Amino acid sequence: MEKICIVCPKGCRLSISQDGDKINVSGNFCPRGVKYAEQEILDPRRVVTAVAPTDSESQPFLAVRTPDMVAKAKIPGILTKIYALRLKAPIPAGTVVLENCDGEGTPVITCMDLD
Amino acid sequence: MKRNEYDVAVIGAGAAGLAAAAVTAKAGASTVVIDRDVRPGGVLNQCIHNGFGLHYFKEELTGPEYAARMIRKATEAGAIFRIGSSVMEISPAQADGRRALTLYSKESGVEIILAKAVILAMGCRERTRGNLATPGSRCAGIYTAGLAQRMLNVEGKLPGTSAVIVGSGDIGLIMARRLTWSGIPVKAAVEIQPKPAGLARNIAQCLEDFGIPLYLSTAVTKISGKDRVESVTIAPLDDPTAERVIECDTILYSVGLIPENELSRKAGVVLDPKTNGPVVEEGVYETTEKGIFACGNVLHVHGLADQASEEAERCAESALRSIGMR
């Protein structure tokens, strides 16, 4: 299987094959490529970034993210929760606005100050 | 009119301008950073996706997070911010070598800022449908990818209900995912070149993740629609008769960037027809106008914000040398 590594902008073209329980990876420039390939086969994950509605007139929407990757299959549900938020100003950047958005303990945090 | 005097005036508070200002202010040069937007950060503030800072901060950040760190760096170094302010003109060098910048803001009206060195860091504009001269209807629903990005991420407005991306630049790819995640299906991305323009990782995580087809070596031959876009017609370059009509009400153009040099040109700065950025001496970043330097996307289009910031730091060092502060 061919997969493009998304860990950094280099975008290595990974060749991945499965040999029983063992996953063989080639085409990676650094060890992060192997880790990414294994994750992509066993449990594909992505960082979620979106905007959440606020009660502020000057910043009606605020950038938020998951600090870590979440299971790909859970992303639509997480987005629904984010879009249902109504953030109240002021909130500094890095504040948790959703605890445990994925059922695995991953929060959603703000990426900028809401003045 | 107020008169303000600084050692260095930086025009633009994005990835390049902020990095340059942090360097000059830290070296003890009185530094002003001027930006026309209501907050510093430039386009980073609307780039809410992650992928920034891996080179510069050795950490993966979103655009607003990258901007916040750079703003803190410049602020802590002592740079003064003038936001909501547009530079209308840069004067010829005065007898003492300084330049006068004519500034306009809603709060203070017209002001003059005097600076020993000027650093241009105004970034780029996007190429539009007009640049490509796509045939067809001139209806509503046609945006540049960056405009749609601003609508969605800053203003929270949905640009339409179903979309096609023209071109395969990174902003367009990022917007394909953003639209999908906002409930707007993306029917296709259409690239005239045989290879995608954007990063491979963005093809993977923004198109392939959602099964969005990418048509390479394919041209948009027609946009149809009366008041609003109704469909877009595409055809492979090697067989123009094999047309395909894709229904959608929104088209995003992601077909390249042009350094924004109206101000530079007016100041007499000579531009390179290849890059559309100022002609500068290699490694010195001084334009053909003495005391005016350029860095970041206004100089040439960079692949990553990190690279624009790193270049800006080198440019700032050079500007400091020119005023005897290094």
Write down which residue in B236, B255, B274 finishes a domain.
B255
Write down which residue in B232, B255, B278 finishes a domain.
B255
Is residue B207 domain-shared with residue B186, that is, in the same domain? yes
Whether the predicted pLDDT of B1 surpasses 60: no
Domain, as residue range, for B189: 128-255
Is residue B152 domain-shared with residue B242, that is, in the same domain? yes
Write down which residue in B230, B255, B280 finishes a domain.
B255
Is residue A57 domain-shared with residue A104, that is, in the same domain? yes
In this structure, what DSSP letter does residue B318 have? H
Using DSSP's 3-state secondary structure scheme, residue B230 falls into coil
Is residue B303 domain-shared with residue B225, that is, in the same domain? no
pLDDT digits (tens, 9 = 90+) for B98-115: 999 999 999 999 999 999
Structural domain contains residue A78? yes
Is residue A103 domain-shared with residue A54, that is, in the same domain? yes
Is residue B145 domain-shared with residue B219, that is, in the same domain? yes
CATH number for the domain harbouring residue B229: 3.50.50.60
Task: Report the percent of chain B where pLDDT is more than 70.
Answer: 99
Check residue B112 and give its pLDDT.
95
Is residue A26 domain-shared with residue A53, that is, in the same domain? no
| Cβ atoms of A72 and A56 closer than 8 Å | no
Is residue A12 domain-shared with residue A55, that is, in the same domain? no
Check residue A20 and give its pLDDT.
85
Structural domain contains residue A18? yes
Is residue B17 domain-shared with residue B120, that is, in the same domain? yes
Number of domains comprising chain B = 2
Is residue B295 domain-shared with residue B206, that is, in the same domain? no
Alpha carbon distance B324, B135 (integer Å): 55
Structural domain contains residue A115? no
Check residue B77 and give its pLDDT.
98
CATH number for the domain harbouring residue A79: 3.10.530.10
Do the Cβ atoms of A5 and B201 come within 8 Å?
yes
pLDDT digits (tens, 9 = 90+) for B272-291: 999 999 999 999 999 999 99
Is residue A33 domain-shared with residue A66, that is, in the same domain? no
Q: What ipTM score was computed for the predicted complex, to two decimals?
A: 0.95
Question: Residue B125: in which H helix or E strand, if any?
Answer: strand B124-126
Residue by residue, DSSP assigns B133-195 as T--B---B-EEEHHHHHHIIIII-----SSEEEES--HHHHHHHHHHHHTT--EEEEE-SSSS
Is residue A56 domain-shared with residue A106, that is, in the same domain? yes
What residues of A are in the B interface, CB distance below 8 Å? 3-9, 11, 13, 46-47, 49-51, 53, 58, 60-61, 63, 65, 72, 75, 79, 93, 111-113
What is the rounded average pLDDT of the residues B173-201? 97
Check residue A21 and give its pLDDT.
85
Closest-approach residue (CA) in chain A for B207? A4
Is residue A33 domain-shared with residue A57, that is, in the same domain? no
Residue by residue, DSSP assigns B68-98 as HHHHHHHHHHTPEEE-SEEEEEEPPP-TTS-
Number of domains comprising chain A = 2
Is residue A94 domain-shared with residue A61, that is, in the same domain? yes
Task: Report the percent of chain A where pLDDT is more than 70.
Answer: 100
pLDDT digits (tens, 9 = 90+) for A18-59: 888 899 999 999 999 999 999 999 999 999 999 999 999 999
Is residue A53 domain-shared with residue A101, that is, in the same domain? yes
Residues of B in contact with A112 (CB under 8 A): 45, 64-65, 67-68
Whether the predicted pLDDT of B2 surpasses 90: no
- To the nearest whole angstrom, how far is the Cα of A1 from the nearest Cα of chain B? 14
Is residue B196 domain-shared with residue B288, that is, in the same domain? no
Check residue B237 and give its pLDDT.
97
pLDDT digits (tens, 9 = 90+) for A76-109: 999 999 999 999 999 999 999 999 999 999 999 9
Q: Where are the alpha helices (DSSP H) in chain B?
A: 15-26, 63-77, 129-132, 145-150, 170-181, 200-202, 262-266, 305-322
Is residue A104 domain-shared with residue A54, that is, in the same domain? yes
Is residue B144 domain-shared with residue B114, that is, in the same domain? no
- To the nearest whole angstrom, how far is the Cα of B73 from the nearest Cα of chain A? 16
Cα–Cα distance list, B32 to B21, B80, B113, B126 (Å): 7, 5, 9, 27
Domain, as residue range, for A23: 2-42
Structural domain contains residue A56? yes
pLDDT digits (tens, 9 = 90+) for B114-133: 999 999 999 999 999 999 99
Is residue B242 domain-shared with residue B215, that is, in the same domain? yes
pLDDT digits (tens, 9 = 90+) for B64-81: 999 999 999 999 999 999
Is residue A100 domain-shared with residue A53, that is, in the same domain? yes
